[in-house]
Every structure is written in C-alpha cells, then in structure tokens.
Structure 1
C-alpha cells in the first residue's frame, strides 16, 4: 500500500518549516527500482490517494511507466521500425510514408496525446490520393498498436476506426486512368507489343499477360523452375501440364540502416510476398513452346533478366518498354546516330501491372473457377471456401484451353500467323 512522507523545502541551504508530501508506491514485479515516488502534493491524503490509484492501475494492467509517458510518436516509430524487419520493399515503403507524410505532423507529439479526432482531421488535409491517406493511417495504427503492446499507451485510439472521406469539391471526380480505354488492355495489345519488342522481351510480355506473374516474380523466375511438370490423377488417367514455379522475386528499393538513414537503392532477391504468392502456374501450350525455345536461346539462369544477365531496373526497362507502348517519332540518321523507325502507339499507359491484370481479366472471361483463378493470380482467397474448394484437373484443363484459344484468336485479329519473322512458332533446338 502507498505511503506518504513530508518533504521540507530548503532555502539558501537551510531547511524551512514549509513542506509538501511525497508518496511512494510499489512498482510492478520486475521493475527497477522496485519502489517509485511522486512529489509535490499539498496534503497527505491526496498523496496517498494518488499512490493507491497507481497501485490499482498496476494490478489491473493499465498503468503506464512515468518514464514512458513523455515518449513521442517519432521516437517510438523509429524504435518500431528498427525492431520490425520486413521485406526490403515493404520497409522502404513504410519509411517513405513516415518521412514524407506522417512524421512532419506527428514526430514530436507524445504518444498519449494522439487521438482519433486529430488523426482523422489531419488525414483529410493530406494532398495525396485517398488510398495513400488510408495507408498512412493504417501504418500509424500499426505503430500505435506496437506502442500499446510495449506499455507506452493503454489503448490504440486508431484501431478499428473508419476514416472520414471527402464528399465535396473535386472528391467525386473520376481520376484519369493510366490507360484511356474501357476494358483496359486486350490480348491483341500483348501480342503486338511482344512482336515489337523481340523474342527475349516479348516472351516476358506474353508470360505476364497469359500466366500473370508480378513484375518482381517474373524477374526472379529461374530456369530450374520453368516448365516443370504437374501430374495429377484425372479420371482413369493422368493430367499432365508444364508449370512455372514462382518461389522468389526481385525487389528494388532504397536500403536503410536501423535508424532509417538512406543507404542507396538496391535490387535484392527475396521470398515471395506471402504464402499465397508461392505457387505453381499452369502454362498454356503456345507459351510453353515459346518458353522452351527461349530457354534454349538464353544463356542466363534468370530467364527474364537483361542481356548481360543482371535484373532489370525499372528505369532501364522503361526506356524500351514505354516507347513500344506509347509510340515514338522517327529519328533521322546522322553522324554518330543510327536511323530509328517511328512506332505507332499500341496502348499509351500500358505497363506490366496492366498485363498482369489482363491475365486475371482473361481468367474471368473464359470462366476459370474461383479456386484456380485465385491460385493462378497468387491471391489468397477470402472466406471458408478456400479450405473446402480445391482446383481440379478439369478446371486446369478448361483454363489452359481458354487461354490457348484466346491467344490464337488475338494473333488472327492482328493479322499475325508467326512471331518475330519465323516460319512458325517452332524451330529446331540446338544439338
């Protein structure tokens, strides 16, 4: 039980008759020192009441150590980031949000003074897209939950709260899409783009459009995981098809030390994003054929790397990919510069993410069943059905037939019967 004692004031080195009361109360088990105190109470009763209240909060688990009460959001956020090592790209994204949006407002605010009203009011004033506002508030909530678990606050005031969204002014206007076409990319766009970019990059384009790996997953695809064989019992026989085994990916991000200081950009091989992303994707026959001969031609272990064997960086990739999609003007031949033909636009704004989205759109168009559609896209299917419904060989065969038919129809629609000037899509392998 807390107890109080007089503390006499001292003036010029001499104790006076004036005094206040100091209370001592027992700290939680394991705390050093085992007893804590607080001074400055005008009466003994007030001091003892305050001390007893601290001991009650300790028993109920709601007590906050006085040494932690003044810790600011910025101080704890840096501690949190140093102790929560995520995938490199995730860590970089979190630091970007902290430095560019969150810390300029909340760095010096004590954790215990953060309220949902203030956070909700602030996020409405942010000059970024609404989805980015949500990500910033979500990251703040994650950090506040960590602060609660570490004993800095008793409750996370942001947990489970719904943000206020703008409903006036420009909030209702539709944002201009990157691709200005209803329905997005078509399989015909993927075929034309692959033809324009040549065999090595063209196979990468078609693999993304008809098998759906993410950008980093495509860069990380190893030849040892390409065109493996899936075998499943099917009726009285066996279902057999080639697959891509997606088990790792390349991530490009700004590396930081444990204090958040920038160290430069790196491109690093990492495990896939989550357990749903590690998967085997069935490959339709036309794509298996193209990949088989690409493997025969390509000298490097990573089948979608640069010609020199290193992973593509986004900037380097865009130098060739963007003009192929958006078009370019003719460049006249002059001294030291070769002639470059003009390109008509195929689909301005098209990117590799849109080609991955095309794969998922095609799955819906050809009626791929949900268990297989989620698996092929690398998405974790929500709900209890993911535990009950599994992809069957019949579903897999139906998907492959649909993608194969879609490819050849697209080839016919753009007037192509071959790719890259070959007589057909086959050639003799090297002896």
Structure 2
C-alpha cells in the first residue's frame, strides 16, 4: 500500500515494488523525490504502484548504467551476420561511443542526441549520419525493453525541424552509362590489367546487374547455359577477410544470360586453369591481379607485345633468343621496349584469389572510366599516360611515363562506379520496356505490393529481354568497330573480327 513518509522537512513517497520490497519514488536520474506535502507523496507513490501492477514499472537506478557499459553487453549478445556485426562495431566505436560512452543511459536527452547529430553532419554525409542515428535508436530501444530507461531520446519527432521535404537527405544522383560505355570501360580495364578477366567481369556486371559481392563470389559451377545462379556472395570485412555468405536479403535467383554473355563467360572459364582458392576451397570465375614483384611499377610484357603488334611469346623470344626472330620484328620489339621503359623481372602479373573492392575501384575501374589515376602520396592525381597506337592506347609505365606518353585517355563517364553498372543495367531494362516483375527478379529486389502478387515472369518475357540485350551488345560492338576495327584486348579483338567476317558490320555509320 502506498503512503507518504516524513523525513526531516519533506515527504517521500513509498510503494511496494515488483520485488516485494518498499521503494521510494525517484526521478529519471535515480534521485529520491522530495515532496512538500504528505498527499503529494502518497499520490506519486500510488502512481508507481499502478505501473507495477501493469508491468510498466522501471527501476530508476537501472538507468545509471553508462552507455558504454550497456553497449559492451548489448554487442556481445548479438548473433548476426559478420557483415552486420562489423557495421554495428564501426558505428559504435567510431561515432557513438566518443560522445555517449561515459553518459548514464537515463541522462541521455533529446538535446544531447540533436547536438551529436549536428556535429556529425558537419563532417560526414547526411545519409551516413542517418545510418548511425538508426543504430543509436536500436540500442536505446533494447534498453527500454530491458527496463533500463522509459523513453528513447533518439526517436525522431515528426513535424519538427527544418522543412526541407524530400531534399533534406538527398544525395547526388547515381551516374550511369550506356551499352557502348560498358564496352569501352571493359576494354580499358583489360588494357590496364593485361588480361581478359576485367573485360568479361565488367560486361557481365553491366548486362546482369549483379552485386559486387555476387560477381566476385560467382563459382564456376553456377555458370550455366541459361544464365548465372546466385547462391553466394563474398563479403569483404574491414580486416580484409572475405566471408562466403548468402546474397543480400536472401536474394537467391537465376539471372538469365543472353547467349553472347554466357558464351563469353564460359570461354573465359575454359581458357583458365582455375584451382580452388585457399580461402574457401571453391573455384571462382574471377581472380585478381597479384602483387607486383620487386615492389616497383613498370611496363609489363603484354604492354610491349601490344605496342609492337606481336604476341607475348615473340617478345619473350626477342629477349631470350633474338637470333630466332626476324630482324624487322626484332627491331619493332626493341623500340617498344625502349619507349615503354620495360625492365625484365620488374613486373609480371601474378594472380591473387580475389579482387578487393577498394583496389579494384581505385586502380582499375576509376582510371578506365575517368582516364585519371587517383591521388596517392607523393603523387598527385594524373592522367593515364598512353601511347596512341594501337587504339585506344597502350599505358606507358615506369619512370618518366608522362614524358614518354604520346596521348592520354579522355573520360568515358566521370563519376561512374562499379555499383553504377548495376544502376546502368536497371536503366537499360527500363529503356527496353522490360516488365517490372522481371526487373525485380534480375536485380534481387522484393516488391511487396498487391499488384506484384498477381504478376509473374514468363518464358516470353525472358526471351524478349535476352534478345533485346543481345541487340544492344551487337550495336555497341559495331559502334566500337567504327572507332577502330581492332583492339589490343584479345577477347574483344576476336569479337570484332567475328562481326566483320560475318558481314553484319559496316564500318561507316
């Protein structure tokens, strides 16, 4: 039974708590409330007893636990995917604990959260701050469920703040390209790497819309005549470890592949001696360019071969058995060696098990797209130096590469990212008038609307899309051939010659 108890010159409200013991009425900070009259004390105590009977009572002392203490326990109790655990850890350690670690849960106010959010937005993108705010809200909601606090100070109150509408958290529009752009970027990437992997992967990403992790994690057993089965992805953690896990949102699916694309990927697999990777013991379609031997950049054997218009075997013969090579050919190779600054043994590309997202984007994709290498101390951002012939140019590497170059690449689509190819694929399907239900299936999206429940993918839809994508591919090959009928990239050179020999290509627009 609740009652008011006089202590000195004030009254305390006393009530029976859930434990059966009598407690004093306390404020949100856990301090005993001092009442002027016995009636006020009794009324406050009766209100607390009502909460006890309704199961809504919170122990005020529990709110004295600090945010840091609670978060340590909270994180340890989570059993989520490695990628999610990594993201939560980054949000907590880098953005929440520096401000709230020593603060008791019960003392975190809306004003504290608002001030933190304002400081973060001064340094980071609004979309990122929104994500971290969601993590804070989740942690405090769980603290409410445990009876540690009564309200969540991170809850957004509707109708408050600056009236900015939809533009408040709007980021820059995603850059996309077209079918010819996909082809040109793929060619440049293959030229930079000196092999076909990047060409095939770029084309596959642009014509399927597969996520980065799904492409890197594509195993050879899931390359099928009808398309590509998405069963796994490789997710890269901050530690560098690549975790083999289900695709995002369990978006298992088969992505229909036009005949030209499935043949391109199957031929690529057949041309390589693919061994199980040391990470997972699986055979993956794509591998990465290995580390540079000797630790110094320089022209590669394939660069010399392209510049001289011969095979890598011929270059090797010139270097090792010059007497077996015709004098004119030997002279062309020796001139290419001198022009490119080729040094034997400095750089020969090995192969690593998997691409790394950052290295792939910064040193292969972005230079191919923009024509510029990024800034990296002590060097500033700089154009990719190339020799103009054969078109579209052979990169010049090594010392004084800028001085020995005769040209540089112009941008194809500045701002395009690897994920932008996924947006590109969706945009291409929109242009082709592809039914939404088929687009959602290919992209791995879920449409929960009522209308989507009555829409179904048919064989006719699949055939039409594959036919339309093939037409786009052929038109991009024709446009590329009008720029130059050959390519230093072997796989593209073969495709261009096939179009010419079939008599379906005219070199004039």
SS at match of 1:367: coil
Instruction: Provide the C-alpha distance between the structure 1 equivalents of 2:113 and 2:9, rounded to a whole number of angstroms.
Output: 43
Aligned to 1:35: 21
Which of residues 123, 133, 140 is equivalent to 1:137?
133
Aligned to 1:150: 146
SS at match of 1:424: helix
Check if 1:413 corresponds to 2:479: yes
Taking structure 1 as reference, are residues 152 and 172 closer, same or farther at Cα in structure 2, changes over 3 Å only? Answer: closer
The question of whether the paired residues in 1 share the 8 Å contact of 2:174 and 2:420 is answered with no
- 1:329-372 deviations in Å (ceiling 9; x for gaps): 1436669xxx9886513333332111111111111010111111
Which range is displaced more, 320-329 or 121-130? 121-130
How do 1:204-215 residues align onto structure 2 when only pairs under 5 Å count?
A: 204-215=201-212
The CA RMSD measured in Å over matched residues stands at: 3.5
SS at match of 1:274: helix
Check if 1:80 corresponds to 2:78: no
- 1:115-171 deviations in Å (ceiling 9; x for gaps): 44553454244222221232222222222221222222233354463474585xxx9
Aligned to 1:252: 236
Taking structure 1 as reference, are residues 218 and 343 closer, same or farther at Cα in structure 2, changes over 3 Å only? Answer: farther
The question of whether the paired residues in 2 share the 8 Å contact of 1:23 and 1:47 is answered with yes
How do 1:241-390 residues align onto structure 2 when only pairs under 5 Å count?
A: 242-254=226-238, 264-275=239-250, 277-298=251-272, 299-300=274-275, 301-306=283-288, 308=351, 310-317=353-360, 318-327=362-371, 328-330=384-386, 331=396, 343-345=408-410, 346-390=412-456
The question of whether the paired residues in 2 share the 8 Å contact of 1:24 and 1:35 is answered with no
Which range is displaced more, 158-167 or 74-83? 158-167
**Offset at 1:288?**
0.9
Which of residues 167, 183, 186 is equivalent to 2:178?
186
Instruction: Provide the C-alpha distance between the structure 2 equivalents of 1:369 and 1:316, rounded to a whole number of angstroms.
Output: 36
- 1:184-208 deviations in Å (ceiling 9; x for gaps): 3121111112223142111110111
Taking structure 1 as reference, are residues 265 and 55 closer, same or farther at Cα in structure 2, changes over 3 Å only? Answer: farther
Larger helix proportion, structure 1 or 2? 2
Taking structure 1 as reference, are residues 225 and 161 closer, same or farther at Cα in structure 2, changes over 3 Å only? Answer: farther
Check if 1:424 corresponds to 2:498: yes
Instruction: Provide the C-alpha distance between the structure 2 equivalents of 1:332 and 1:195, rounded to a whole number of angstroms.
Output: 18
Check if 1:54 corresponds to 2:38: no
Taking structure 1 as reference, are residues 134 and 334 closer, same or farther at Cα in structure 2, changes over 3 Å only? Answer: closer
The question of whether the paired residues in 1 share the 8 Å contact of 2:216 and 2:286 is answered with yes
The question of whether the paired residues in 2 share the 8 Å contact of 1:65 and 1:151 is answered with yes
SS at match of 2:456: coil
Which range is displaced more, 139-148 or 79-88? 79-88
Which of residues 217, 221, 235 is equivalent to 2:218?
221
Give TM-score, length-normalised by structure 1.
Answer: 0.76
Larger strand proportion, structure 1 or 2? 1
The question of whether the paired residues in 2 share the 8 Å contact of 1:22 and 1:37 is answered with no
The answer for unaligned runs of 5 or more in structure 1 is: 8-17, 230-241, 255-263, 426-431
How many residue pairs are counted as aligned between the two chains?
A: 380
Check if 1:396 corresponds to 2:462: yes
**Offset at 1:211?**
0.3
Which range is displaced more, 349-358 or 78-87? 78-87
Aligned to 1:238: none
The answer for unaligned runs of 5 or more in structure 2 is: 26-31, 276-282, 290-350, 372-383, 387-395, 500-509
